Amino acid sequence: MVVRYLILINIKNKQMKKNLLFFAVVLLGLMSFSNNRNFKSKKGWISLFDGKTLDGWKASEKPGTFSVEDGAIKVDGPRSHLYYEGPVMNHDFKNFEFKARVMTRPGSNSGVYFHTAYQDRGFPDKGFEVQVNNSHTDWKRTAGLYDIKDTKEVYVKDNVWFTLYIKVEGKHVVTKINKKVVTDWTQPDGFVPPKGHSGRIIDHGTFAIQGHNQGSVIFFKDIMVKPLP
């Protein structure tokens, strides 16, 4: 009788373990589905920023320059750069489309780097900077390819949200503000980068958001990428 009782208990314990394992697998599946649904958007666009934290991003010399405010990355502080180091494409992009909602405060200067790599200090040596500047004393304005193909035109005002778009395919770079093409540039054969920018050549790498100087306040949200073949 005792042996039979122990056998029944053992069977029940095994069944309970199977049930717990089953529910754990289901729960993980649901969590994965939920995360993927939030992570991926329509038409291949993937979010790089969760709107709540700086998870997946790494700041350089002055991390306090970057914070999250009302669903956006707020840039406000001394020079620093916020590099994407998250899981999407193992943070290594060659051909892609990129877009973000951006708002500048008066007199502010920032930028979005692509094909770059993390460095502890200074302005990134590797990659290109797409300028974000609508009224700073630097005349080079938003969506210009900094020191490669700059623009003097101001296409959007401060204190207004706009969409900054970047596309890189092969050696061809296109930038837009609210669907208006600002820069259309193809790196020529035998291209020699300008003095002081030896790493400014088409290659591959990650993205970075620039904190240019104390007093420049800029917001970035809805940061998305679409990897291309």
Residue 3 included in any domain: no
Residue 195's CATH number: 2.60.120.560
| pLDDT average, residue stretch 14-37 | 40
CB 103 within 8 A of CB 162: yes
pLDDT of residue 146: 98
In order of 27, 79, 113, the CA distances from 139 in angstroms are 54, 19, 19
65 domain-assigned = yes
pLDDT in the model for residue 68? 98
The answer as to whether 93 is a domain residue is: yes
Give a yes or no: residue 15 inside a domain.
no
pLDDT digits (tens, 9 = 90+) for 10-19: 544 555 444 4
Q: Which positions ≥6 away from 76 have C-beta within 8 Å?
A: 65, 67, 211, 216, 217, 218
Tokens of 27: 């729960």
Is residue 64 in some structural domain?
A: yes
Q: Supply the pLDDT for residue 41.
A: 59
- By percentage, how much of the chain surpasses pLDDT 70? 82
**Residue 131 counted as domain residue:** yes
Beta strand extents in 11-149 (DSSP E only): 46-47, 57-59, 66-69, 72-76, 80-84, 96-104, 110-116, 128-132
In a domain, 111, yes or no: yes
Residue 3 above 50 pLDDT?
no
Report the SS3 class of residue 103.
strand
**Total domains, the chain:** 1
Is residue 16 one of the residues assigned to a domain?
A: no
Q: Domain residues for 51?
A: 42-227
Q: What is the mean pLDDT of residues 89-105?
A: 98
